[in-house]
Amino acid sequence: MTEPIELELALLTRPGGRDQNEDACGHWHSDSRLCCVVADGAGGHGGGDVASKLVVRYVIGAFAANPRDDAQALRELIVRSNRTVIAERTRGGTAHMHTTLAALFINLDQAIARWCHVGDTRVYAFRAGRIAMRTVDHSLVQSLVDAGHLAPESARGHPSRSELYSALGTEEDQLISSVQEPAWPLQAGDVLLICTDGLWEYVDDATLESTLRVCATPHDWMQALEAAVLAGAARKPSHDNFTALTVWITRAAA
């Protein structure tokens, strides 16, 4: 029998050392479903801001209208999201605008989660205070790590860290995306995190775990992660926008 669960959510988004925040995030829920979306836009002249907000709105709207969370439905949702970015460019949007995407979908009735992503915005799953899973970036640096040419601990500071090989706004035959399979079975005490590279660049796995263990609420953890980014980026005044959204799984009240 599936254990009844409840959810607590908190989010954080900051411009960092930039004039404009090109990250976007949002969430939607019904009695039985939750959809959380984070996107990190780029493209210059406001294009990244347009692309990220467009994709967040599209994913939330499409899922709310038809809350399917099977793997095939999420693959189709990514393709349609990509088409919305390309269509916006043809209507006069910035020619080079694109955006990452990471989206989390929770089915409360079945106590399962599934997620999908394009680019280097990440989803982490924590169990018993430890990272049990994280998504694999679609990036040049990740491909170097995968090939054994770069140590994982060197990836964060690599000069090519921001070079993506897939993002929304890519020609469809070149689009690469990932969907969590099988669905992730949720337990009370689990924590899920979506965050942009502006956060994980400065917050390593050990810090994610150590701050999580000492924080009593999702809001407290967001504050701790913000402090960690600002401390890590203290010598880089132009550091990137950073965004995080967390969902904590708790046991439903009797």
Cα angle, residue 22 at apex, residues 18 and 28 outer, rounded to 5°: 135
Mean pLDDT score, 142-150? 86
Task: Decide if pLDDT at 93 tops 70.
Answer: no
Of 64-68, 151-155, 171-175, minimum mean pLDDT range: 151-155
Over its C-alpha atoms, the chain yields an Rg (Å, rounded) of 17
Would you place residue 162 in the very low, low, confident or very high pLDDT band (cuts 50, 70, 90)? Answer: confident
CA–CA distances in Å: residue 249 to residues 9, 58, 165, 252: 9, 26, 33, 9
Mean pLDDT score, 178-199? 97
Which tokens belong to 133? 């899973």
- The pTM of the whole model exceeds 0.85: yes
Those residues whose C-beta lies under 8 Å from the C-beta of residue 246, and which sit 6 or more positions away, are 9, 10, 11, 191, 192, 193, 194, 218, 221, 222
Q: Which CATH architecture has domain 5-251?
A: 4-Layer Sandwich (3.60)
Q: Report the residue count for the chain.
A: 254
| Mean pLDDT (the chain, rounded) | 93
- pLDDT value, residue 164: 92
Task: Decide if pLDDT at 1 tops 60.
Answer: no
CA–CA distances in Å: residue 219 to residues 9, 10, 117, 187, 195: 8, 5, 24, 20, 15
- pLDDT value, residue 94: 77
- pLDDT value, residue 90: 83
Would you place residue 254 in the very low, low, confident or very high pLDDT band (cuts 50, 70, 90)? Answer: low
Would you place residue 239 in the very low, low, confident or very high pLDDT band (cuts 50, 70, 90)? Answer: very high
Those residues whose C-beta lies under 8 Å from the C-beta of residue 64, and which sit 6 or more positions away, are 28, 30, 35
Would you place residue 182 in the very low, low, confident or very high pLDDT band (cuts 50, 70, 90)? Answer: very high
pLDDT digits (tens, 9 = 90+) for 107-122: 999 999 999 999 999 9
What whole-number distance in Å separates Cα of residue 82 and Cα of residue 153?
A: 31
- pLDDT value, residue 24: 97
| Domain range summary for the chain, segments of one domain joined by + | 5-251
What whole-number distance in Å separates Cα of residue 64 and Cα of residue 54?
A: 15
pLDDT digits (tens, 9 = 90+) for 40-91: 998 766 689 999 999 999 999 999 999 999 999 999 999 999 999 999 988 8
- pLDDT value, residue 45: 63
- pLDDT value, residue 47: 87
